[in-house]
Amino acid sequence: EPELRFDDVHFAYHPDRPILQGLSFAVPAGRTVAVVGPSGAGKSTLARLLFRFYDVQAGAIRIAGQDIREITQDSLRRAIGIVPQDTVLFNDTVEYNIAYGRPGATHDEVVQAAQAARIHGMIAATPDGYATRVGERGLKLSGGEKQRVAIARTLLKNPPILIFDEATSALDSANERAIQQELQQAARGKTTLVIAHRLSTVVDAHEILVMDAGRIVERGTHARLLAQG
């Protein structure tokens, strides 16, 4: 798995209002790092830069040492999988939604991804494959179930880098706990960046970075930061 690194990243939407002012941190290969911070800290901006919706204005974002501006858009998309906060599903079956964007996915791959995301009960293992589109429809799913579909979709892509972007913040607390565990399992062995606004929604990161006004203002382990309040 590759290391993900932000090196002295600067970014502003408007020249007179800097948002990121020298953001530096690394997610070591195969580890999980969380960035937490209040609304307005710059967390979504960081995610947008990672997907090159915008480019950094100084500094660099690197994957395995390579500047992401030197990577093709296709490779970047293969390298990074995101589980976003609000997953929008098609009003089609769960298996279709999992395989969306991957026309080459086999039925077995879809079932495997679904099993890894603990929704195998919703996938009918028919011999003629998921093209039969049996099963629940996306619009009928609960928030927690939708997030499981999003996790399965990302797992099917099997990217070396995972981004959880406020992935549990739309859920009630019972679902939140359950989905956190699914995410933690999915993150095992992957280079994972967790973006969250509350420390309590981050379960098992090797390091937690507290971001405010576009900078890392504090870093530590979960226990140490919680102890500080």
44 binds ligand ADP (CB under 6 A): yes
202/140 Cα distance (integer angstroms): 28
In terms of Cβ atoms closer than 10 Å to its own Cβ (0-12, 13-18, 19+), residue 197 is: middle
Among 77, 133, 177, 206, interactor with ligand ADP by CB under 6 A:
77
Q: Which of residues 209-228 bind ligand ADP (CB under 6 A)?
A: none
Task: Pick the stretch among 42-50, 116-124, 127-135, 175-183 that binds ligand ADP (CB under 6 A).
Answer: 42-50
- Min separation Cβ 54 and ligand ADP, Å: 9
CA angle (128 as vertex; 148, 107 as ends), nearest 5: 35
Q: Is 165 in the site for ligand ADP (CB under 6 A)?
A: yes
List the one residue from 9, 25, 32, 45 that touches ligand ADP (CB under 6 A).
45
How many whole angstroms from its chain centre is CA 9?
20
Which phi and psi angles does 196 have, rounded to 5°?
A: -150, 155
**Single residue of 157, 160, 193, 210 touching ligand ADP by CB under 6 A:** 157
Among the listed residues 177, 172, 204, 170, the one whose alpha carbon sits nearest the alpha carbon of residue 190: 204
The least CB distance from residue 30 to ligand ADP, in Å, is: 21
The reply on whether position 39 binds ligand ADP by CB under 6 A is yes
The CB-of-46 to ligand ADP minimum distance in angstroms stands at: 7
Radius of gyration in angstroms for the set of CA atoms belonging to the chain, rounded to a whole number: 18
Find the binder of ligand ADP among 9, 27, 37, 183 (CB under 6 A).
37
What's the token pair of residue 220? Answer: 């530590």
Binding piece for ligand ADP, criterion CB under 6 A, among 37-45, 137-145, 201-209, 221-229:
37-45
**54 vs 132 by CB, closer to ligand ADP:** 54
Instruction: Please report, for residues 81, 105, 138, the alpha-carbon distance to residue 65 in angstroms, rounded to integers and kept in the order given.
Output: 19, 30, 39
